[in-house]
Structure 1
Amino acid sequence: MLHEENISNPVEMSTANQKKEQVSENRSEPQHVTNSVVSCNHSQTVKTVILMTAVVRIKDPRGWTTPCRVLLDCGSQAGRMQLSDNLPELQETHFGWVVAGDIEDASTIQHCLVATTDPISDLLRQFWELEELLDSASQPTEEDECEKMFQSNHHRDETGRYVVSLPFRESVRELRDNRSLAMRRFLSLERRFRKDPELKQQYCQFIDEYIQLGHCQEVNESNHVTQGVYYLPHQAILRPSSTTTKIRVVFDASAKASRAENSLNDVLKVGATLQSDIFSFLLRFRKHQVVFTADITKMYRQIRIAPCFQRIFWRSNPDDPLRVLELTTVTYGTAAAPYLATRCLMQLCDDEGSSFPIAARIIRLDCYVDDVISGADTVEKAIECQT
């Protein structure tokens, strides 16, 4: 913050005697303003440069003020050069030459100089290639390839469940063994169990349920497999506010043995988004007079998947032998899981829609991931939709 003091007009002087006389005549003027005189010798002639200074008070962040002398006029009469009648002039100052003045020329002509060694025809061709719209029909996207893989690989087992394969990219060949990484992560999890017995109990219940429901199976690592193998590190996510599941076990399919290597998610195709956006979903819900909600239990784990790429380490106690479990269902945490789950829902509508038209309509329009929020105009119709 600056507080400027009173400033007197500058007085031009040429010699020391004139300066003394002038100072004696101006004794009544404020003492805190100084007109400094600097003489410059250009071509054996003496020219006077007038510099105006003043004392100002500068306030620092602590609120203290300090008097300081500042330069108010850095202009100089020592050297001027007029370029032209319609151009600014050059003025020499103690800080270098500066350009000052107005330009009266109102011409709007602009010039652009381009230096290139490429022929003009090649530049024009590159420009039109960049601006050309690609034919989407001739350029299949990864989403199209993912859909094609699903249609050719999915089937239903004897219980009616869908069985799918992971949609791999070509880079799956570069997937390296990450067993040591998964082992280190599991040993770290066991150390956490020793500090938190309640967490260990809930974690063991989760894995035991996984085994009892047939969503994983124990495998022997010594058995030869023709496909690649990937180990999923896993960890616990606590949800104290949840009324159903206080703990969720998350499988880390993005784990890399090193920065230079790929993870499982890096070699998986993500697939297209098949369900409506949340805005359209909620807008349709508000149109119903009578509404109801539902939830698809363990949606991802209702779909079976080809093995080998979803192995985990597990044991209930550190003294037990280390077990290798292979997850046999679509796993939460893999990049393709949302697409595979929702695509199986759409396929179920195609396969069973003629027998259950109301349910097929609700699944297509009123299902967001695994949550169903739908309704009807009357209570009777709402009950019919649920049955």
Structure 2
Amino acid sequence: MKELKNSFITEELAQKLDIKSTGFITLKISAFGDKNSEVHNLEKATVQLETQTGEKIPMEVIIIPTIAAPIFNRARVNIRELSYLKGLKLAHPVSSDEQFHISMLIGADYYWSIVGDRIIRGNGPTAVESKVGYLISGPIHSSGKQHSGMFHILADHKVEEVDLEKFWKIESMGIDDHKDGHYVAKIPWKENYPCLPTNYEIVKRRTENVIQRLAKDPKMLKLYSEIIQDQANKGFIEKVEDPENSGNRVHYIPHHPVKKDSTTTPIRIVYGCSCKDKTGHVSLNDCIEPYSPMMNDITSILTRFRLNKFAVTADIEKAFLQIELHQKDRDSTRFLWLSDPASFQSEETALKFYKESRTLLAAGGFNLRSWSSNSEMLQNLSKAEKTADEDSVVKVLGMKRNPQEDTLQYAKNDTGQKKDRVTTKREVLRETSKVFDPLGLLSPISVKAKIFMQELWKDNLKWDEKLPKSMQTTWREISSEIYDALDIRINRNNSSSIDCSCDSLHVFSDASQQAYGACVYLLSKNKITLLMAKNRVPPIKQITLPRLELMGALIGARLGKHVKEITGVNKIYFWCDSEIVFHWIISQKTANRFVANRVNEIREISESSTWQYCPTFCNPADYLTRGIALKKFKEDALWWNRPEWLMEPQKWPVWDGPTKAILCSTSTEEESDTSHQTKIQDTVDIKTESIQSILKLEDKSSLMKLARAEEKSKTF
């Protein structure tokens, strides 16, 4: 049987001794004979155990409501009658009470530090010497009525054995119904986290600074105060009546205003839970258990948002403030002071969603407001009920939407527009990361920034080193194009509805020495819509072009699987312009590890029969590998809704199978794991650099293209 490795104290005794909590611990606790265990998040504390000699032994104990049910006192008479125990000072004095309660239980973590060497045996229980008196254990003979009792605790705090995901959802997050219809949550404290300082002084200084800044704009200061007062009136926050006396941990957090482009909430209050009062101290965030947020993937939501005719967005009024914080955790969040989009096929369905969702969320204390839709019926209803969004452009998961035009727009920033800013590698990365394009629809423009960043790495430039003038000029051109591209408006929906049995997805992939990627199109009722695109730059270490094309095909397979799961469209085709990659996918020959690993994953995701050949000139994924001029990009039909022949299967390109030259090139690639040459250089001995430059061999996807280029050069 596993020994008890923890010591416990009851809440009642802890309160009597005025013990302060020192943190939390996660335990699995099971009772004797019970196959199941329960996970609990319990407070810890330190107590001083005073010995007979006056020594004080510090013990870490776990505070628990009840250790055990009352135990029958069989020692109240018999012990006094045993001669070999007379005169011993017992750790638990004999009393005449019929029952007694266990208020503190010392486990194996401290038991052997208090037990001595002397043992006294006799015709009855055994006495074991300890620093707090003799401990009595063993049978007691009695002729009267027998009472039997058993007490057993099995506690285990090995984190790896705990289903933490289930625990955080059910226990630590403590989501429980409150009496007024709201929910209550506990802070998921880390196990054995360091002592959390109060932060009072630094928070006081920061709050004073915030007030001084706000005072420069009296209207903003007034609005900030009104927000705090409104939160107090609605019960979201509460005044601390007695700041000096609290039985819980106390911690202050600073706050500051952030302006918002919104009519309902022009500013919002942001709390700094990462604030530290001194170097080496911890913040509130440092003491909270990190875990993955339970949120839907943004690309999935945005893609589904574009699939149906009618779109609806709404906002839960003060969503997070509607969830109450547990009473014991509130003192840890003290401070000082003077939308899920959806789309529907019919207006009737949208109206039904409006009514049902508002009713459902209202039951939990949430007010679903700021409704916006291209459905005139829903918009009129929300206006009548004063729940409509008054903004002409609304936010949708980091993007913007114009309900009247039913278009999606990008959030615009000052990317690369400040001419006095020093251009460094750090600045390029910072500006590039500002572009929020979750669906990758602007990738043919933004890929230029990725390629440029790769060049900076190849040149071994330091983070804050000023770029050479030529590079500064190049970056200004790239950043200017990206900035202008953010003005592009994208049709949210190009089809009335999706027919999963008839519609199809088409994934195109490609690669160059600079980048590789893939894009996905939806073919529905003779309409072609670009849904999503992703691209990457290759490692700095050179990789052959065929292998990069294989990596592009793998990105395409993964992306196709992702979009298939989002849309529910089962029919999917993969298009690639590399004949070598085609051969790898359909070939049964064992390839080297690099090729085999990627080909195996592609085959697991897709059937080889779903792969089709697409000539380079009509492969939209080509733009993902090199980029395209902004002027052409805005109106480019191939990128936004082509190639047209997709709508006529009889006109689809047909691959005749690998030629001898392709087989030769493929074989050479498969035999080497370390080749740094392109497939052309593996199969053709061309030593003249000028000829290579003229023919641009690194851009060729097959020997067939080279053969055609060579034939033209001979003719010339």
Give the TM interval when normalised to the shorter protein. 0.3 to 0.5
User: What TM-score, normalized to structure 2?
Assistant: 0.26
**Structure with the higher fraction of residues in strand conformation:** 1
Q: Which structure has the larger Rg?
A: 1
User: What TM-score, normalized to structure 1?
Assistant: 0.46
